[in-house]
Chain A
């Protein structure tokens, strides 16, 4: 996310959702900062659109500001957990609304990669693909390489394992689809 967006987001956190109580506002801000990466992760996993993270966190903060106004004694950890829970719920709702699965890329592209091309071409595809992976997908790739199961990865991310797996393959299939369409392969190494 570009820094300007982050500044804007932080400004919006502090100004729009003020509870009128300095201590509560401080807690809310800390919880929002702690939840931001989770919002990005949910936007990637459930919605295949990283920009939606702003909407998710906006919705969660609105909910959390009402909550902290009612219970000002709640800790930052509890508030963070609530925000994350609201983010996850909202992301699932939006994903269901937009039609269960956003099609981007085809399984045929995977098959094409596995069967058709010679080794050199396959390597060029793979290099290009690895260079274009998003940070989330790259992290998942690393954890899978280490040998962790989808369930173990999802547990650490506080997500559903099928959603993480689906999001990972959705991104890869989408990249492969774009690569096979554009044919803009880099040179083999």
Chain B
């Protein structure tokens, strides 16, 4: 029973990803109609970060996810955000290794 639930969940996740990609292709091709004006850069930045301060049910989110221009910008901002996150993680790891190394040297020295 548990195994089948896990399988189903995995299928759904995979399927969801496929559908999201199709949706993205459609928006970028200009097939989807978007309403209202484009939101500003700050809003898109918050959306790329998946900020919890944003109201998902608002028209701005709906527009950003259906306008080709906003979607392109959002994809770029998202990539930028992920790169920055990755850089911080690497920097944190290097700092941690250095700290442990220095601590080990101090212990050995004494």
Which A residues are within 8 Å of any B CB, using their own CB?
107, 110-111, 113-114, 122-123, 126-127, 129-130, 139, 141-148, 152-153, 156-157, 169, 172, 189
Contact = CB atoms under 8 A, between A and B. Distances in A.
8 contacts: A113-B15, A114-B14, A122-B18, A141-B19, A145-B24, A147-B50, A152-B56, A172-B15
Given A110-B15, A113-B15, A114-B15, A127 B22 contact: yes
A129 B19 CA distance: 9
A145 B56 contact: no
A162 to B, nearest CB: 11
A29 B55 CA distance: 25
Q: Which 4 A-B pairs have the closest CB atoms?
A: A126-B22, A142-B65, A156-B56, A110-B15
A153 B20 contact: no
Contacts of B47: 146
Chain A residues touching B, majority SS: helix
A143 B61 contact: yes
Contacts, number: 67
Interface of B: 8, 11-12, 14-16, 18-20, 22-24, 26, 29, 31, 47, 50, 52, 55-57, 61-62, 64-66, 74, 78
Contacts of A146: 47, 50, 61, 64-65, 74
Contacts of B14: 114
A130 B50 contact: no
Q: Which of A111, A126, A146, A172 has the most CB of B within 10 A?
A: A146
Given A107-B8, A111-B11, A156-B56, A145 B18 contact: no
B26 A130 contact: yes
B66 A126 contact: no
A152 B26 contact: no
B18 A113 contact: yes
Contacts of B56: 143, 148, 152-153, 156
